[in-house]
Amino acid sequence: MKNNLLIPNKYKVFGWIIFLAFILLHIFTNIIYPEIGEKLPLSTENTSRSFFDASSNMTLAGAGILLGLIMICFTREKNEDEYISYLRLRSWQVSVLISYSILFIANLFIYGSWFLSFMIYNLLTVLLVFIITFNLSLYKIKGERTGDEK
C-alpha cells in the first residue's frame, strides 16, 4: 500500500538539522540567556517600523521546532513496506495515548499560567513520542532481521 502523505527519505536529515538548530535557538535565547534573546534583530522595540514583537524569537523557534519534527515524522523510510506502515500506525497510536495521558494528569495537578505553559510544550509530545517509539520499533526489527541472518 502506497502512502502519498509521506515525503522522500532525504528530507529526514533536513528535518533533524532544522529541529536541532531551532531547539538550540530556543534554549539559548529563551531559557539560558533571555536577555540576549531580547537583543536579537527579530525582537525590536515597539516602533512604528517594527515587524516583530518581543516574543518573536520564541515564535520563530517554535515554528522551526514544529517544522523539523513534522519533517522527521512524515518522511518515508528507505525500504517502506507494509510492516513498516503497520509500525508507523502503531507508533502514532501509542504516541497519542501517551500524550493524552500526560495531558489528563497535568489537567488534574497543574493550574493557571503553568498549565498554559505546559500546554504549549505538550503540543510537541505527540511528535516526540512518535519519533521515539517508531525508531525503537525499527531498531528492534533490524536487530531481529540481522539475528535471523546469522
pLDDT in tens, 94-110: 999 999 999 999 999 99
pLDDT of residue 138: 93
Q: Report d(CA 75, CA 121) in Å as an integer.
A: 23
115 and 68 in contact (C-beta within 8 Å)?
A: no
Return contacts of 84-91, CB within 8 angstroms, 24+ apart. Answer: 84/138, 85/1, 85/3, 87/134, 87/137, 87/138, 87/141, 88/134, 90/133, 90/137, 91/130, 91/133, 91/134, 91/137
Residue 42 pLDDT exceeds 80: no
Task: Give the angle subtended at the CA of 146 by the CAs of 79 and 73, to the nearest 5°.
Answer: 35
For the record, the C-alpha cell of 94 comes out as 501509542
CA–CA dist 32, 121 (Å, integer): 17
Q: What average pLDDT does the chain have?
A: 84
User: Average pLDDT, stretch 49-63?
Assistant: 68
Look at residue 59 in the predicted model and tell me its pLDDT.
Answer: 82
pLDDT of residue 53: 54
Q: Which one-letter DSSP state was computed for residue 30?
A: I
Residue type, 143: G
pLDDT value of residue 84: 92
* Helix, strand or coil, per DSSP, at residue 7: strand
Max distance between CA atoms of the chain, in angstroms, equals: 70
The pTM (predicted TM-score) of the whole model is 0.80
pLDDT of residue 12: 94
85 has a pLDDT exceeding 70: yes
pLDDT > 80? residue 113: yes
